[in-house]
Structure 1
């Protein structure tokens, strides 16, 4: 490019570049770059001029070249495809008429704060430092898939929209970020894609607003984060899909509002998460899917539970906060897969680890009652008998109450009307209490039952006592066996 072809505004940028001097075209520091379409030639710079500067990199002895421009209207396509530019690029408060194309470019340090773009195409880009796009507005997709950013990626309060609803507004699939992904307050109207991305730091989406109703608002299959993923106060309309994600720190959604009616609101299936926090937020609208995940600490407040959850093969070590079993049981009873014994066992173990054996027994009792509904009619009948008598072995005191009640009935009935002896003169002295015990306890023999034979209604009463005794004995033994096997 010939230097005599430059406009006055372009010459200012050209002359400042070798010395790394900043050029600010703004008349007012509070100007909105969205008004850049109306800016005149006095602050218009062709993208080809910027490209020539970055690729030819004119130098002055003792100076460090840098492209530092604020408040410019940039016309044409800033084409840096597969270019290698060592100079610092700082284009803040700028208005880009056309989408820059930085595919495969190798850049040193890029700062684009408070600029407006029709989109940015930069897949497989490499940035040796940080990439700053704070307060930027993208009216088309921000494509960074497969890029490598050695430092941090800053998207604080960025706004992303796209005319094509089927294309993600932020594409970070297979991107590797050496430090944090810092995007608090980001506003995205469309899908944010983090599939197969690696973030060697914290992902900060605090107070973000992600909206893609009926679709996926945040897609992060196989996302790897070596620290926390923070989504405090985040508002999400659409699905969050973190299937197969690996989060070595805390996945926190405190005070978040997750809404995807008729679909899945949050999916963290087949993942490994150190801590998952769902607390202090509004009730989730949509399905919560945690199938096959491994979570060390599950901080889940019952108030956030949606109507349907999927917990099959979910493994967690600690469940917080500590709540009574009645508050936790809806978590396993709302499972969309139906009766899942494993979910009850996980909840039972969580209570046992903190020494709450009573809550653990309540969960096991609820498990048996849920299982009963899956049986044939005769299985359900036998289950009702076990439940009413001894609570499937988890309420052993009920057996004592039943035995004492039946013992009292038998003692009074046979005390008033002695059954006749089988062999007169050989029978021991009749005792109504021990005779009733002989009938009720199948493994104890006081010699009364063998010596006396009731007739009439007394015979029918003896049948009832014998049958009831066997039922009580069987259910008690079943409960004891279950307890021993667990221990």
Structure 2
């Protein structure tokens, strides 16, 4: 391109480039780039001129060339496909009429802060520094699939809108980011796809608003993050998928509002997380699926949990904050798959690890009661007997209470009306207390029961005491056996 073909605005940028000077076309710093369609030729740049400038413009000795333009209207598509650009690019607060196509390009640094674009393609690009899309408004897909960014990807307060419902509004599939992905305050209407991406730093989506009602809003299958994933105060209409993700630090959903009524709102199956925080704010409006997930620290407040959960195979080392078992058990009772023994065993192990044996016993008792609902009628009946008598072995003092009560009833009854002896000359002296014990205790004998023959109502009382004694003995043995086998 001949230098004589340039407009005054383009010539100004051309002359500033070798020295890396900033060209600011804005009348004031607060101007909205969304009005760029009405900007005149005095601030209009052809994308072809910028391409020629980046590829072949001369440089000045002792100066660092850079493209730094603010507040320009850029017409046409900026096509740098497969190009190698050794100079930083800053096209901030600009209005693009065409697609910036940087597919598989090699860049030093890219900043489009505050610009308005119809779409952006950085698929497969290699960027040595930072990519800044802060406060951008992009009315089409942003492709970063396979991109390798040595620095950070910054998208704070950006607004992304999908034109096609079936196409992700932000696609970072298999991308590699050497620093953080910061998108606090992001507004996205459409799917964000992070499948297979790897972030060496943290992902920060604090205060983001993601909207894709009834569908997948944030797809992060097999995502790898060496730091934290911060989703504090996010609002998500749709659901989040984290199947197989690996998050070394914290997955923080404090104050988050997740809404996907009638279905799961968070699916984090088979993932590995250092710490999972579900705390503060309203309960999840939809189900929670953590099947086969592995979490070191599970920070969950009971009030945050939804009505439907899937916890089969969920493993966690620590559960915080410490709550009584009565506050934690509803979490297990909301299991979509019904009775899941592993979930009770996991909660029991956590309580035992911190020395709260009473809470552990309560969880095990709740497990037996839940298991009882899966049994046939005769199994449920026997379960009720064990529960009422000794609490499935976890409340052995109940057996003593029943024993003392029956002992008192029998002793008083037989003291008032002593049963006649079978052989008066051979019978020992009648003792109503030891006679009752002889009836109640199926193994121990004090010589009273075979020597006397109760009649009438007392005979029926003796049958009841014998039967009750066997039931108590059987349930106590079953409970003790169960307890010993667990220990």
TM-score, with length taken from structure 2? 0.98
2: CA distance between counterparts of 1:230 and 1:179?
A: 15
Where in structure 2 are the equivalents of 1:277-316 lying within 5 Å? Answer: 277-316=277-316
Shift of 1:34: 0.6
Aligned to 1:113: 113
Aligned to 2:159: 159
Aligned to 2:415: 415
1: CA distance between counterparts of 2:426 and 2:313?
A: 65
Q: Secondary structure at the match of 2:109?
A: strand
Aligned to 1:458: 458
1: CA distance between counterparts of 2:484 and 2:261?
A: 45
2: CA distance between counterparts of 1:47 and 1:370?
A: 68
Q: Secondary structure at the match of 1:450?
A: helix
Structure 1: 5+ residue runs without aligned partners? none
2: CA distance between counterparts of 1:72 and 1:259?
A: 40
Shift of 1:188: 0.6
Shift of 1:478: 1.6
Aligned to 1:69: 69
Shift of 1:416: 1.9
Aligned to 1:184: 184
2: CA distance between counterparts of 1:66 and 1:195?
A: 34
Aligned to 1:41: 41
Aligned to 2:372: 372
Aligned to 2:96: 96
Aligned to 2:60: 60
Q: Secondary structure at the match of 2:280?
A: coil
Aligned to 2:381: 381
For the 8 Å contact 1:116–1:137, the answer to whether it is kept is: yes
Where in structure 2 are the equivalents of 1:464-479 lying within 5 Å? Answer: 464-479=464-479
Aligned to 1:240: 240
Q: Secondary structure at the match of 1:407?
A: helix
Structure 2: 5+ residue runs without aligned partners? none
Aligned to 1:392: 392
Aligned to 1:172: 172
For the 8 Å contact 1:57–1:87, the answer to whether it is kept is: no
**Which of 306-315 and 12-21 deviates more?**
12-21
Shift of 1:210: 1.0
After superposition, the C-alpha distances for 1:327-376 in whole angstroms (9 at most, x for unaligned) are 11110000000000111111111111222111111111111111111100
After superposition, the C-alpha distances for 1:43-80 in whole angstroms (9 at most, x for unaligned) are 11011111111111421111111111111100011001
Matched, 1:213 2:220: no
Shift of 1:422: 2.8
After superposition, the C-alpha distances for 1:31-51 in whole angstroms (9 at most, x for unaligned) are 111110000111110111111
Q: Secondary structure at the match of 1:85?
A: coil
The Cα RMSD (Å) is 1.0
1: CA distance between counterparts of 2:84 and 2:422?
A: 110
2: CA distance between counterparts of 1:256 and 1:77?
A: 39
1: CA distance between counterparts of 2:465 and 2:95?
A: 91
Shift of 1:450: 2.2
Aligned to 1:271: 271
2: CA distance between counterparts of 1:209 and 1:32?
A: 22
Aligned to 1:250: 250
After superposition, the C-alpha distances for 1:188-237 in whole angstroms (9 at most, x for unaligned) are 11111111110000111111111111111111001111011111111111
Q: Secondary structure at the match of 1:86?
A: coil
Alignment size in residue pairs? 487
TM-score, with length taken from structure 1? 0.98
2: CA distance between counterparts of 1:467 and 1:316?
A: 45
For the 8 Å contact 1:153–1:177, the answer to whether it is kept is: yes
Aligned to 1:30: 30
For the 8 Å contact 1:47–1:77, the answer to whether it is kept is: yes
2: CA distance between counterparts of 1:344 and 1:161?
A: 44
Q: Secondary structure at the match of 1:251?
A: strand
